[in-house]
Structure 1
Amino acid sequence: MKIPGTRLLARIVLALLAVAAVAVAVTGCSAIKDASKSDTAKAKVGDCINVIKGSAVDSKTEPVDCSSEKAVYKIVQTYDTKTDCSEDYTSYEETLNGGTTAFLCLAPNFKQGSCYIDNNLTGYQFADCASTEAAFRVIQRIDGQVDELLCGAESEKFLTVSDPKTTFCLGRPKA
């Protein structure tokens, strides 16, 4: 005796199992690819990072809350392959076995009143203002505008970022 619709039911069940298997395979491959990335490389646009140790070849970084004074950089662009960042941004490249696993374009995310180390090879790092390593202090941070003329007489230098529009007025680290 045949039960009507059993073949149709069997086909539907097999189709659903096939779709589930494909979904698991795609998700699993993506998870394996991301497993080789650091927490910084897994970060998304809008996240912030702290530079614990600056190095031209072996930096140590970590994602941090953007409101933290140690949130030195904000991620503005992410790529899987090497890309030229705008001159306003700092490039961050993470490699594994000779291949790029992540490439980030980072904008400064300095906090008013905080001090930073400025190294041409390794970028910016947070610093205690009393430290001899501190290169500058952020006198004023002006969001939404790119205009060095907004900096007061106390500022000796300035840094501007076009996207997001920000002006940083900089002075000596020791107040």
Structure 2
Amino acid sequence: MKFAGTRTLVRLVLALVAVAVAVLAVSGCSMLKDASKSDTAKSKVGDCINVIEGSATDSKTTPVDCSDQKAVYKVAAVYDKKTDCKEEETSYEETLNGGTTAFLCLSPNFKEGACYNESPSTGYKYVACTAPEASFKVLKRIEGQDDEFACDANTATSFRIVHDPKTTFCLGNPKG
């Protein structure tokens, strides 16, 4: 005995099973791809990063809350392949077996009153102002402006500017 619509019901069930298998396959591959990334490489735009140890080839970093003193960088952009970052940004590239697994563009996220070490090869790192490796102290952080003339020329020895979002960092001697 045949019931009307059985074929349609079987086709519908098979179609739903096929869709479920396809979704699991795609999400499973995505999960495997993300499993090989560090926590830093999994960061999203707006997340912040602490540099524990800077290196041109193997930096040690960790995501931190953006209000943390050690939140040296804020993620400005995330890419799957090497991309040119803006002039004021630092690039972070993570590779595995010779292939890029993550590429981030990072903007400075300095805190007013905090000190940092700056290295051309390893970027910025939070340090105590009394540390011998302290390169500069953030005298003032000005939100909403990207203008070096906002810094007091009598106290600031240099500045850093981020254009998006507009931020000016007035820098001085870490010992002063």
- TM-score bracket relative to the smaller structure: over 0.9
The alpha carbon displacement at 1:174 in A equals 2.1
Which residue of structure 1 lines up, in the alignment, with residue 32 of structure 2? 32
Determine whether 1:154 maps to 2:119: no
Unaligned runs of 5+ in 2: none
Which residue of structure 2 lines up, in the alignment, with residue 58 of structure 1? 58
- In structure 1, what residue type is equivalent to 2:51? V
Question: TM-score normalised to the size of structure 2?
Answer: 0.97
Deviations 1:108-129 (A, max 9, x none): 0000000000001000000011
- In structure 1, what residue type is equivalent to 2:91? S
Which residue of structure 2 lines up, in the alignment, with residue 138 of structure 1? 138
Aligned residues with identical type, % of pairs = 65
Which residue of structure 2 lines up, in the alignment, with residue 166 of structure 1? 167
Deviations 1:71-118 (A, max 9, x none): 000011111111111111001110111111111111000000000000
Which residue of structure 2 lines up, in the alignment, with residue 107 of structure 1? 107
Which residue of structure 1 lines up, in the alignment, with residue 43 of structure 2? 43
Task: Give the paired residue count.
Answer: 175
State the secondary structure of the residue aligned to 2:88: coil
The alpha carbon displacement at 1:54 in A equals 0.1
Unaligned runs of 5+ in 1: none
Deviations 1:50-76 (A, max 9, x none): 000000111000011111110000011
- In structure 1, what residue type is equivalent to 2:126? F
The alpha carbon displacement at 1:150 in A equals 1.2
Question: TM-score normalised to the size of structure 1?
Answer: 0.98
- In structure 2, what residue type is equivalent to 1:142? I
Which residue of structure 2 lines up, in the alignment, with residue 84 of structure 1? 84
Which residue of structure 2 lines up, in the alignment, with residue 7 of structure 1? 7
